Copies of this chain bind each other. A is one copy, B any other.
């Protein structure tokens, strides 16, 4: 049982934006920080923008910021968005189900209940919560500058500082 890297990076993108607020964050910053390809974060930012979690802005000086207060975005709702339908087992998806026990199977129900417990636990956690220890996180993200946005601009393709995330 594993979450997709897509979900993981989506949450880290929001966490990063919360840390940078009220300044804007750029896609390349996050991609460089993780040492991964731009395209991943591009897709994530695009989706989160469409769904009203990020305010994106094109062009020079652009970037994105949280579209809502971080206390108003829960980890659970992001996972519901990025992880696709949560079908732990085949029989949770009626159209393709082949199990004749459907409707009377208590295993299926127990699994659904456990999934609810999982999501409920994450519904109680917000982006503000996972960005609360700002100092410690920023120290890891950009060891040289603690609380302000990195001043030096970076080119598109060249990985400049690779501070990791």
Residues of A within 8 A of B (CB): 1-3, 5, 8, 11-12, 15, 34-35, 75, 83, 86-90, 98-101, 104-107, 110-111, 113-115, 117-122, 125, 129-130, 132-133, 136-137, 140-141, 163-165
Contact = CB atoms under 8 A, between A and B. Distances in A.
B111 A122 contact: yes
Contacts of A130: 105-107, 110
Give the oligomeric copy count: 2
A164 B120 CA distance: 34
A16 B11 CA distance: 40
Chain A binding surface, main DSSP class: helix
Contacts of A15: 107
Given A1-B88, A114-B122, A11 B100 contact: no
Nearest to A99: B165
